[in-house]
Chains A and B, each alone.
Chain A
Amino acid sequence: MTALSARLPARRDRYTILPLTYLVAIVILGVTIVPLLFVFVDGFRTTGDISNSPTGLPHPWVWANYGSILTTAPFWEFLGNSALIATVATVLAVAFGSMAAFALSRYVFRCREALFTLFVSGLLFPIGVAALPLYLLLERVGLLDNQFGVALPEAAFALPMTMFILRPFMRAIPGELEDAAMVDGAGKLRFFVQILLPLAKPAMVTVTLLSFVTSWNQYLLPLLVFTTSSHFTLPLGVATYQSQYSQNTGAILAFTALAAVPALGVFMFAERYLVAGAAGAVKG
């Protein structure tokens, strides 16, 4: 808060919440949370229970579903694979993507717009189209049944979105800051790393989150690349689990709920940075 706002009357000083806002918040909460609760709570039920009363509470409470998943190795294997792949894909996508976005936003050069359009065109088709040629390509370079065979294409497909979001944010950082850095003797690259990136934090966090979640939920690519089940990621694992436990709906939902936890954890962690934000980027 600046000294200026400290002198304002209290009424205008804080954004007071209207009761209407709270009401809306509750409705939204309800609509969003109910299906989520279903997934979570139904993990404690047997299939027969679920079929008898689709919307009731567990009766009896079955701890075995969650218990058996958490205590058997495959779940943690799948978790580890998903985490590794998502991390690698996200780091690559965000690192390379932010570098490229910087180049495309704060340098002036010929073919800049054409290049940006080329990258953005990567957004314009679903990854499934590229599946067959990608598979053959991966086979040729020997990346099949290999985590990098999934992480690298995922990073590549995440680049367009990353750059598309980052470029406008980077562009909006005022040129005066760059001038000031130049005067201080810092080169453009130093400006990028030490000043621009921290300022673009909300956008960086957003693209990190998006890349991570997209990679985490990716199903088709791991399906094509992996044959050894110990390499499977969580979504593949859910599908395998689903068939191994026939149609034990409760167990599948438990597995799914657990599979979503890490991604939610990443979000919670990132959320703090979203809140911190770049308010006050321009100070007198």
Chain B
Amino acid sequence: MARSTTADATVRKKIELTILLAPALVLFVGFVLLPIVIAAYYSLFNWTGYGPLSDFVGMRNYTFAFGDPVFVQAIEHTLILTVLALVVQGPLSLGIALLLNRKFRGRGFLRLIIFAPYVLPPAVTAVMWSLMLYPGGFVDQLLKSVGLGGLIQEWLANLHIVLYTNFVVLTWQYIGFGIVLLLAGLQGIPVELKEAAAIDGATPWQVTRRVTIPLLAPTIRIWVFITVIGSLQVFDVVWILTGGGPANASTTMATYMFLDGFRSLEFGYGTAIAVILFAFCFVFSLVYQRFALRRDTAGALTRAVG
């Protein structure tokens, strides 16, 4: 009796798994994996996009990339933006999410406003901020009016500042996403736990620090992962705001890929850059998954699921 049930269960499990996984797999392999693998194949060639793939160059695109000081600089910029995203946007998103999780009047409206920038197309964000950042534009006027006129810079033209200008605009655009994600995580924390802590005499701040944030850890880990990957790939806003310039002062790996690869009709080189970018993300992803994402509360509170 037990044996046949087990056999049935295994077959049933296989059928269920197939039903559950097949649609996603088919879609994914067909429209994501296949094109990507083909693109990676292009990276071994020197190809203008016209005519047949005939100029095989092996790894030359890759060696050239790492020998190009502009690309190395692009990597630096990308890493700077990534670290800044973690260090600045992290606490900011968390604080705002905690704030928005409480009940107060106008909370729904505030949530809408904070999420709205994420909904705006990056092109529009970039155009809007360009208008505000022109010399003598809104930002300059605002600074003057609160007496901080001495801080005014050429936000979009100063080579040393332009990368950080991009960061500010990126934060404005994308912080709503992080907040929404953290809010979803906060909703999953059982109220009973907070109440239990409160009964034990914890102040609201202690409840937040000792109960909420640790339980939010899985969500935070997701946020970190997505933020890092997103920062490594950042393109839209930077491209439209500064085009990676002036003089490559704000290039990212993705803008470099676009400008020095696709725009110059060097598709082989462009996809090689993409593969390098992918490698960065992949290494991070592997390391992160191994060390950070394995732990979560399942098992701590309830029966582990597997």
Direct contact, A vs B (beta carbon within 8 Å): yes
Whether the pair A279, B285 counts as a contact (CB closer than 8 A) is: no
Across the two chains, which residue of chain A brings its CB closest to B30? A156
Residues in A whose Cβ lies below 8 Å from that of B229: 123-124
Q: How large is the interface on A (under 10, 10 to 19, 20 to 34, 35 or more residues)?
A: 35 or more
Whether the pair B31, A153 counts as a contact (CB closer than 8 A) is: yes
Residues in B whose Cβ lies below 8 Å from that of A268: 108, 112
- Interface hit among A59-67, A68-76, A257-265: A257-265
Whether the pair A17, B304 counts as a contact (CB closer than 8 A) is: no
Instruction: Output the least CB separation between B299 and chain A (Å).
Output: 9
Check if B177 is an interface residue, CB within 8 A of chain A. yes
Q: A39-B128, A256-B121 are in contact. Are A210 and B177 (CB under 8 A)?
A: yes
Residues in B whose Cβ lies below 8 Å from that of A125: 36, 233, 274, 277-278, 281
Check if B7 is an interface residue, CB within 8 A of chain A. no
Whether the pair A174, B301 counts as a contact (CB closer than 8 A) is: yes
Check if B190 is an interface residue, CB within 8 A of chain A. yes
Whether the pair B121, A152 counts as a contact (CB closer than 8 A) is: no
Check if A130 is an interface residue, CB within 8 A of chain B. yes
Across the two chains, which residue of chain A brings its CB closest to B100? A25
Whether the pair A179, B303 counts as a contact (CB closer than 8 A) is: yes
Rounded to whole angstroms, the CA-CA distance of A278 and B184 in the bound complex is 9
Check if B20 is an interface residue, CB within 8 A of chain A. yes
Check if A222 is an interface residue, CB within 8 A of chain B. no
What 1/0 mask marks residues of chain A from 119 to 138 whose CB sits below 8 Å from any chain B CB?
A: 11111111011101110010
Within 8 A of B (CB), among A78-119: 92, 95-97, 99-100, 102-109, 115, 117-119
- Most B C-beta atoms less than 10 A away, residue of A31, A38, A103, A137: A103
Check if A181 is an interface residue, CB within 8 A of chain B. no
Q: Which of A38, A96, A165, A259 contacts B181 (CB 8 A)?
A: A165
Check if A251 is an interface residue, CB within 8 A of chain B. no
Whether the pair B119, A260 counts as a contact (CB closer than 8 A) is: yes
Rounded to whole angstroms, the CA-CA distance of A179 and B305 in the bound complex is 11
Residue pairs across A and B with Cβ atoms less than 8 A apart, 18 shown, are A15-B103, A32-B114, A32-B172, A35-B117, A38-B138, A104-B21, A130-B36, A137-B31, A153-B32, A173-B305, A174-B302, A175-B304, A175-B305, A202-B188, A205-B184, A206-B181, A217-B119, A260-B116
Chain A to chain B: the 9 pairs with minimum beta-carbon distance, closest first: A277-B187, A174-B302, A175-B303, A156-B31, A124-B281, A100-B24, A133-B35, A130-B35, A103-B20
Besides A126-B233, A271-B112, 18 new A-B residue pairs in contact (Cβ under 8 A), listed by A number: A12-B199, A21-B104, A28-B114, A99-B20, A103-B17, A106-B306, A124-B229, A125-B278, A132-B39, A134-B31, A134-B35, A137-B31, A159-B28, A168-B218, A168-B219, A173-B298, A213-B119, A264-B116
